Amino acid sequence: MPAEVKKVATRASYGRALVELGKEHENLYVLDADLAGATQTGMFKKEFPDRHIDCGIAEADMMGIAAGMATTGKIVFASSFAMFAAGRAFEQVRNSIGYPHLNVKIGATHASVSVGEDGATHQCNEDIALMRTIPGMVILNPSDDIEAVAAVKAAYEYVGPVYLRFGRYAVPVINDRPDYSFEIGKGILMREGKDVTIVATGLCVASALEAAEKLAGEGVSAEVINIHTIKPLDEEIILNSAKKTGKVVTVEEHSILGGLGGAVAEVLGEKLPTKMTRIGVNDVFCESGTAAQLLHKHQLDGEGVYARVKDFLK
Amino acid sequence: MTTLELQLMANEVRKGIVTAVHGAKAGHPGGSLSAADVMTVLYFDEMNIDPKDPKKEDRDRFVLSKGHNAPALYSTLANRGYFPVEDLPTLRHLGSYLQGHPCMQETPGVDMSSGSLGQGISAAVGMALSAKLSGYGWRTYTLLGDGEIQEGQVWEASMFAGFHKLDNLCVIVDNNNLQIDGAIDEVCSPYPIDKKFEAFNFHVINVADGNDVDQIRAAFKEARETKGQPTAIILKTVKGKNVSFMENQAGWHGKAPNDEQYAVAMEDLKKVEEALCQQK
């Protein structure tokens, strides 16, 4: 990636998108659990103090309050770190939001290792796996600023529960093009190729593109697919690419268990058994460090993805 | 409704509870019977609802936080005219719209799905907050078990409700003193319940006989008149009330009567009805 590439943390995109939506829609409310500064819902609070409710450090209660508000017709974004939104409040999300299929949007920031210095307790590598098991839950994991704003707006328009995943770490803007469009459940072909398919999500899409560029220099043609919607999964785009290349690599800033890699393996295993490998956080707890160091250590940066794909193709 | 009419209706609600649980061959009769009187007062006297228009926008809301008392909610709704009383025995059957725990998408009149303890009160708080934010005049009621308040989420929700001065919220605790593993003060005592809610900035009303419809009615009136803070009504009740062999028996928390026991229970309730009718 050239040094001049613009970088934005998707949590900031979340805060900005909420403000934009708040201007248009009076029925939009934002809940937070004492993290308004970090989740960036503070921007919305500043603009619309009457429509931002801080529930205090009580994520379970916040999810229930969001559910109750949703039954009265309000559209609520409930925000916290992924660890607490999907982890601590899992059962509230399942039973109070998922089971009654209420129109609540869960804005989960600070996902996975790019949280960095806070360390393992705050690096949620399990949220996608957890949320995937809730029937009817839509899961959006945008790759950059532009996609994150689009995802928040799409989530607002969609009727039903949505889990949105954002990061703390500033990531390159990769979708700044006129023909960009976001549709829930529709993967995006970022780069065509014929030798291997790299299916990536979140900040790993940029890593996959970087890796593909490097591979191209060595004569390897990698196709890169951006899966911003983990559920419902765009099976078609994955199957079509797998049919073409015969080799699939998944890349995600999440545990290799139950996330994008799991979802793709399930589809390929049943419909088109294909040689594949999963890049993600292996079955381990991580540790403190800078986001860049941790992404490098877990081979989630461009260099890491490149090395892993090369290894896979041997 | 007169006191006697409410008492007779509560007795009908009890018959429906016993019939539903017998039909299901499973379920929770004990706590449903202890709550039959408050459920009757809520749906036949206190709440602004319309069984012909279950989702009317300005209705008062009810959340059964102690979701396992679904038989009490269903029997009350059926007797109130939301759906046929004859359907009560389909409780918990495959394909029935009467799920083991309340499901708002399946059952007319159910304002919130519930069943996992501690969660209903948060949803009720969300409803009350929503009404406050938008200036709606309707009220929100939620019924909790006394064992249920061992769940930490109850206190998260209470802290929020007290802090936000949700005087349109009425939290009711069915204090029948029994939970699955025994007496609540032997399992993990939540007492003093009133002091706890007071500490969370609630107006607290202790109802000495929580199975007395007049005492319940008076408490709701006081709650409605209380401004600037939410109300907690603590009902001292009898688990298994009016079914001789179920009264004060923790064992009848989650067990269905067999055919013989069902006959005895219905006979007990018939006697209650006869005694009430003699007052006419």
Q: How far is B86 from chain A (nearest CA, A)?
A: 26
CATH number of the domain enclosing A230: 3.40.50.920
Look at strands A171-172 and A7-8 and give their pairing.
antiparallel
Would A178 be classed as within a structural domain?
no
Would A177 be classed as within a structural domain?
no
CATH number of the domain enclosing A161: 3.40.50.970
* pLDDT band, very low/low/confident/very high, at A174 (cuts 50, 70, 90): very high
Q: Do A221 and A122 share a structural domain?
A: no
* Cβ–Cβ gap A91/B116 under 8 Å: yes
Q: Do A17 and A160 share a structural domain?
A: yes
What is the per-residue pLDDT for A3?
57
Range of the domain at A245: 188-313
Catalytic (active site) residue A59: yes
The arithmetic mean of pLDDT across residues A288-307, rounded, is 98
Q: How far is A13 from chain B (nearest CA, A)?
A: 27
Tens digit of pLDDT for each residue in B223-258? 999 999 999 999 999 999 999 999 999 899 999 999
The arithmetic mean of pLDDT across residues B71-99, rounded, is 98
* pLDDT band, very low/low/confident/very high, at A4 (cuts 50, 70, 90): confident
Would A196 be classed as within a structural domain?
yes
In order, the DSSP letters of B79-115 are HHTSS-GGGGGGTT-TT-SS-SS--TTTSTT--S---
Indicate if the pLDDT at residue A1 is higher than 60: no
The arithmetic mean of pLDDT across residues B147-152, rounded, is 98
Q: Do A128 and A96 share a structural domain?
A: yes
* Cβ–Cβ gap B130/A67 under 8 Å: no
Would A180 be classed as within a structural domain?
no
Q: A1-15, A75-89, A127-141, B31-45 — which is least confidently predicted?
A: A1-15
Interface check A160 vs B, CB under 8 A? no
Which among A72, A96, A99 has CB closest to B130? A72
User: Domains of chain B by range and CATH?
Assistant: 3-277 (3.40.50.970)
What is the per-residue pLDDT for A96?
98
Which among B128, B134, B153 has CB closest to A60? B153
Pick among B55, B99, B129 to test the A interface (most A CBs inside 10 A): B129
Would A179 be classed as within a structural domain?
no
* pLDDT band, very low/low/confident/very high, at A76 (cuts 50, 70, 90): very high
Tens digit of pLDDT for each residue in B156-206? 999 999 999 999 999 999 999 999 999 999 999 999 999 999 999 999 999
Helix H or strand E segment including B176:
none
Chain A and chain B share a number of CB contacts under 8 A equal to 100
Q: Do A72 and A198 share a structural domain?
A: no
**Among A123, A139, A172, residue at a domain's last position:** A172
- Which residues in chain A touch residue B104, judged by CB atoms under 8 angstroms apart? 71, 100
* Single pTM value for the model: 0.97
How many Å apart are CA A166 and CA A294, to the nearest integer?
17
Q: Which residues, in sequence order, are bridge partners of residue A106? A: A78, A163
**Among A115, A137, A172, residue at a domain's last position:** A172
Kindly report the three-state secondary structure assignment for every residue of chain A.
Answer: CCCCCCEECHHHHHHHHHHHHHHHCCCEEEEECCCHHHHCCHHHHHHCHHHEEECCCCHHHHHHHHHHHHHCCCEEEEEEEHHHHHHHCHHHHHHHHHCCCCCEEEEEECECHHHCCCCHHHCECCHHHHHHCCCCCEEECCCCHHHHHHHHHHHHHCCCCEEEECCCCCEECCCCCCCCCCCCCCCEEEECCCCEEEEECCCHHHHHHHHHHHHHCCCCCEEEEECCEEECCCHHHHHHHHHHHCEEEEEEEEECCCCHHHHHHHHHHHHCCCEEEEEEECCCCCCCCCHHHHHHHCCCCHHHHHHHHHHHHC
- Chain B, window 49-88: residues with a beta carbon less than 8 angstroms from a chain A beta carbon: 61, 63
What is the per-residue pLDDT for B280?
75
Nearest-by-CA chain B residue for A65: B126
Q: Do A249 and A109 share a structural domain?
A: no
Would A232 be classed as within a structural domain?
yes
Q: Do A23 and A168 share a structural domain?
A: yes
No. of helices (H) and no. of strands (E), chain B: 10, 7
Mean pLDDT of the residues in chain B? 97
What is the per-residue pLDDT for A5?
87
Nearest-by-CA chain A residue for B153: A61
Interface check B125 vs A, CB under 8 A? yes
* Cβ–Cβ gap B126/A71 under 8 Å: yes
Would A286 be classed as within a structural domain?
yes
**Among A113, A148, A172, residue at a domain's last position:** A172
What is the per-residue pLDDT for A2?
54
Tell me what percent of chain B is helix, strand and coil, each rounded to the nearest 5. 50, 10, 40
What is the per-residue pLDDT for B195?
98
Q: Do A273 and A226 share a structural domain?
A: yes
Structural domain total, chain A? 2
Interface check A53 vs B, CB under 8 A? yes
Q: A208-217, A275-284, A304-313, B247-256 — which is least confidently predicted?
A: B247-256
Interface check A104 vs B, CB under 8 A? no
